[in-house]
Amino acid sequence: MATSNLIYAPELAISEWFNVSHPLTLAELRGRPVLLHSFQLLCPGCVSQSIPQVQKIERIFADTDLQVIGIHTVFEHHAAMSPVTLKAFLHEYRIKHPVGVDLPDEQTDTPITMQRFGLRGTPSSILIGRDGAIKHHIFGVEDDMAVGARIAMALAEKVPDLSPASKADDTVGCAEGRCEISKHIAS
């Protein structure tokens, strides 16, 4: 009997959504690959490199079921990066994919989604597979070819059986905002 350990993506904690008709959850997107990109509108690397790369990804993978989600993760200059400012920024930069405002934490300057995913700063990207497991997590901007290859591999994965019966033998252990699922697979 073989055991595989997967780190499943924690749920997003969002205070406000843009470019969507209803709030998104990672649970409802299970079965599709998801690219989360965490950014701040006053982050030079985000504006000059990360956001243009994400827009390129959207164009290249437009005919697939890849879901791109932006997370506006404000951990500094809070007053300058309000949702009103973000709305204007999204319009000016023609950002059309869903963007959520990371929910502030009352005890610290680090917002909740940033804490849950263990993000070190912006820009950061997380690729989540069809099964909800984190495939790749990076702080900074990765080479276009590497990102494209990772996304292509995630898109090529078989869509998992998401029926309740298929989840019966999963065991869950969560710590520090991350959940580990051990699924026993008969060999």
pLDDT in tens, 110-160: 999 999 999 999 999 999 999 999 999 999 999 999 999 999 999 999 877
The burial of 27, by beta-carbon neighbours within 10 Å (0-12 exposed, 13-18 middle, 19 or more buried), is given as exposed
In angstroms, the CA 134 to CA 155 distance is 14
pLDDT value at position 88?
A: 93
pLDDT value at position 164?
A: 57
Higher pLDDT, 168 or 16: 16
Q: Say what the pTM is.
A: 0.81
Q: Which amino acid is residue 108, in one-letter code?
A: T
Q: What angle do CA 117, 109, 46 make, to 5 degrees?
A: 60
Span 50-93, pLDDT tens digits: 999 999 999 999 999 999 999 999 877 666 678 899 999 999 99
Q: How confident is the model at residue 161 (pLDDT cuts 50, 70, 90)?
A: confident
- Report the 10 Å Cβ neighbour count for 55: 16
